[in-house]
């Protein structure tokens, strides 16, 4: 059943020991969305296997506590974040779960207890609307994560629309984060070895 932002939040309050589960090779959009929800509602950020380079830097810089390869039976409820197919979860067996996602289509909503699915350039933008609907504060750590998630999922705003820029401005205002801080964190992300080799060859 599709729910709106306020109802999504209120339904989560009915559960204890929530796991916010990110897709494999989780990106900043997934990790930051899960982190923001865990800060607002409580619960654990889970990674199916690991996260990508930018998300790894975020986890380290922001001190986000994550559980890799979590046992789903250890949790009372699972929130599947930024994920459209079961394959992205390494075919984990989901039973008691809900979905929050921004992709055009998602196959995971069919058996979900409830879901919040809307076409957007990032899941973070949907999570922001949840926090806004309930008047939840956005801390600096959450703000940095959310802005990073939007930047990376929009290809550094290449695919951003008016609402995307408005959301980023609202997050900056609410959290007190300076945009330059986020860029500095992203610039600190180590390049992968193949990129380094390509740069050396070009030189």
Rounded CA-CA distance 109/100 in Å is 9
Higher local confidence (pLDDT), 106 or 38: 38
φ, ψ (nearest 5 deg) of residue 39 = -70, -35
pLDDT of residue 202: 55
Grade residue 168 by pLDDT with cuts at 50, 70 and 90: very high
Grade residue 188 by pLDDT with cuts at 50, 70 and 90: confident
Helix ranges (DSSP H) in 13-134: 28-41, 53-62, 123-134
Does 196 score more than 50 pLDDT? no
Nearest in space to 47 (alpha carbons), one of 23, 74, 71, 27? 23
Rounded CA-CA distance 116/133 in Å is 14
Average pLDDT of span 158-170: 96
pLDDT of residue 91: 86
Grade residue 191 by pLDDT with cuts at 50, 70 and 90: low
Grade residue 138 by pLDDT with cuts at 50, 70 and 90: very high
**Other CB atoms within 10 A of residue 100 CB:** 28
């Amino acid at each position: 059943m599709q729910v709106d932002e306020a109802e999504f939040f209120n339904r989560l309050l009915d559960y204890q020991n929530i796991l916010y589960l990110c897709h494999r090779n989780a990106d900043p959009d997934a990790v930051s969305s899960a982190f923001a929800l865990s800060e607002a509602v409580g619960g654990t950020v889970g990674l199916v296997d690991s996260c990508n380079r930018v998300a790894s830097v975020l986890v380290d810089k922001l001190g986000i506590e994550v559980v890799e390869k979590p046992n789903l039976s250890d949790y009372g409820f699972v929130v599947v974040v930024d994920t459209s197919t079961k394959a992205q979860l390494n075919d984990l067996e989901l039973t008691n779960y809900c979905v929050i996602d921004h992709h055009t289509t998602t196959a995971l909503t069919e058996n979900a207890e409830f879901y919040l699915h809307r076409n957007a350039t990032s899941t973070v933008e949907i999570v922001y609307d949840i926090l806004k609907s309930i008047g939840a504060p956005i801390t600096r750590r959450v703000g940095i994560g959310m802005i990073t998630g939007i930047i990376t999922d929009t290809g550094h705003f290449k695919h951003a629309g008016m609402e995307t820029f408005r959301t980023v401005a609202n997050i900056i205002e609410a959290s007190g984060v300076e945009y330059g801080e986020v860029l500095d964190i992203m610039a600190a992300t180590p390049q992968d070895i193949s990129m380094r080799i390509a740069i050396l060859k070009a030189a």
